[in-house]
């Protein structure tokens, strides 16, 4: 090796080895950027939650939930950076280079990183099951079905933890790959399925009320549906799972970002909760009760109400039109605050 000969500075690696190392390095950098996004969203959401009146256990529960997820994500990101430092600096003379070290060695920092991120995945999947239950009007079957899949995730990942911590396995061993594949397959399949059915439900409600209530936009816009259904994690999961199954190095680019999305997707939902914009158990009935009909028996005529958009947040202009037989039928408008209006049949 000579200082005057730049060609001698290049390691003696195959193109495949170069690609593995570059993908690992780039993936860690991309994951760190995603962690920065998660950090920003965490502190914004924590500020919003703290400013709300805290009178029920759920108010404190949301704060505890996002804090725990942020701590786990911080642990995962920190130990991931530590393992990268060991790979390219501390153990760089490992036979086969940094890529071989990452494939063949199980450092404590790597094991802790995997445990932190997988535990975060449990919390993320638990939240989307809860939101699915809420959006489907607290249907017990919705809760049970998702919980069974979550139990499968937990069992497969606990077996992976045991293999990594006591069995001397590395993440890329046959046993670990099978267990991690089972975990990711269950988690991503659960998120894809719930994403589809949540979006389907919201689209049905949107079709029913989109011409009636201006304020329904906060629940039924495209962005609202994507956030409520945690579609961000589902899409990234599909992008990751294909190269992971085929053991393509592209997985190294996606995985560090995917595990940060486990925290980002739920925190976007909770931010909507803190802002009072998230779908609640009573939202559907509130939205679909905005078209009313009143019968007046003395004249046999009907007064029909229909809502139109207003510039005032949470309000609409409601038209009342008498459809009786008299010549003095009139149409007039009143401004109704939809958050106050309730219908009693």
Q: Are residues 265 and 319 in the same domain?
A: no
The CATH number of residue 177's host domain is 1.20.1070
Q: Are residues 271 and 305 in the same domain?
A: no
Say how far apart CA 92 and CA 77 lie, in whole Å.
Answer: 21
Q: Are residues 73 and 102 in the same domain?
A: yes
Residue where a domain terminates, one of 281, 303, 324:
281
In a domain, 5, yes or no: no
Tell me the residue range of the domain where 43 lies: 11-281
Question: How far does Cα 172 stand from its chain's mean position?
Answer: 27
In a domain, 4, yes or no: no
- Answer for the pair 333, 307: CB distance below 8 angstroms, yes or no: no
**Residue-level pLDDT at 336:** 45
Q: Are residues 162 and 300 in the same domain?
A: no
- When divided into structural domains, the chain yields a total of 2
In a domain, 163, yes or no: yes
| Among 338, 227, 312, 230, residue whose Cα is nearest residue 275 | 227
CA distances 255 to 30, 62, 94, 133, 320, Å, are 9, 26, 24, 28, 56
Q: Are residues 23 and 118 in the same domain?
A: yes
Q: Are residues 265 and 307 in the same domain?
A: no
In a domain, 161, yes or no: yes
Q: Are residues 306 and 228 in the same domain?
A: no
Enter the DSSP assignment of 295. E
In a domain, 3, yes or no: no
Residue where a domain terminates, one of 281, 306, 324:
281
pTM: 0.74
Q: Are residues 293 and 275 in the same domain?
A: no
Intra-chain end-to-end CA distance of the chain, in Å: 88
**Residue-level pLDDT at 174:** 80
Q: Are residues 264 and 296 in the same domain?
A: no
pLDDT by 10-residue block (mean), the chain, 345 residues: 68 83 92 95 92 77 93 95 91 82 83 93 92 82 88 94 79 82 92 85 70 48 56 87 88 92 88 67 51 41 42 44 46 43 38
In a domain, 342, yes or no: no
Radius of gyration of the chain from its Cα atoms, rounded to whole angstroms: 27
Q: Are residues 322 and 210 in the same domain?
A: no
How do beta strands 315-322 and 301-308 pair?
Answer: antiparallel
In a domain, 114, yes or no: yes
**Residue-level pLDDT at 90:** 86
Q: Are residues 215 and 305 in the same domain?
A: no
In a domain, 128, yes or no: yes
Say how far apart CA 196 and CA 184 lie, in whole Å.
Answer: 18
Q: Are residues 221 and 327 in the same domain?
A: no
- Phi–psi pair at 287, nearest 5 degrees: -70, -40
């Amino acid at each position: 090796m000579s200082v005057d000969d730049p060609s001698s500075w290049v390691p003696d690696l195959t193109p495949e080895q170069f690609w593995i190392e570059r993908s690992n390095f780039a993936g860690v950098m991309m994951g760190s950027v995603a962690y920065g996004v998660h950090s920003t969203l965490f502190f914004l959401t924590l500020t919003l939650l703290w400013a709300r009146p805290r009178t029920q256990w759920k108010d404190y529960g949301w704060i505890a939930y996002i804090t725990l997820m942020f701590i786990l994500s911080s642990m995962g990101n920190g130990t991931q950076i530590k393992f990268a430092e060991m790979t390219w600096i501390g153990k760089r003379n490992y036979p086969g280079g940094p890529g071989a070290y990452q494939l063949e060695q199980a450092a404590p920092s790597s094991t802790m990183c995997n445990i932190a991120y997988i535990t975060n995945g449990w919390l993320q999947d638990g939240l989307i099951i809860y939101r699915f239950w809420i959006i489907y009007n607290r249907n017990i079957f919705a809760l049970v079905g998702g919980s069974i899949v979550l139990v499968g995730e937990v069992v497969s990942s606990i077996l992976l933890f045991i293999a990594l911590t006591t069995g001397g396995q590395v993440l890329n061993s046959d046993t670990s790959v099978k267990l991690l594949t089972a975990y990711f397959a269950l988690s991503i399949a659960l998120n894809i399925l719930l994403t589809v059915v949540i979006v389907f439900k919201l689209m049905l409600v949107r079709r029913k009320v989109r011409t009636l209530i201006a304020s329904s936009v906060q629940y039924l816009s495209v962005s609202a549906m994507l956030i409520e259904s945690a579609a961000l994690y589902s899409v990234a999961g599909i992008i990751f799972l294909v190269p992971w199954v085929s053991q393509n190095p592209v997985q190294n680019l996606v995985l560090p970002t995917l595990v940060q999305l486990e925290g980002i997707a739920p925190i976007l939902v909770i931010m909507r909760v803190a802002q009072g914009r998230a779908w609640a158990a009573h939202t559907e009935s509130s939205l679909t009760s905005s078209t009313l009909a009143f019968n007046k028996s003395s004249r046999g005529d009907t007064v029909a109400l229909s809502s139109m958009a207003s510039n005032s947040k949470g309000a609409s202009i409601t038209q009342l039109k008498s459809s009786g037989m008299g010549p003095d039928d009139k149409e007039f408008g009143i401004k109704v605050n939809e958050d106050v209006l309730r219908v009693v049949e």
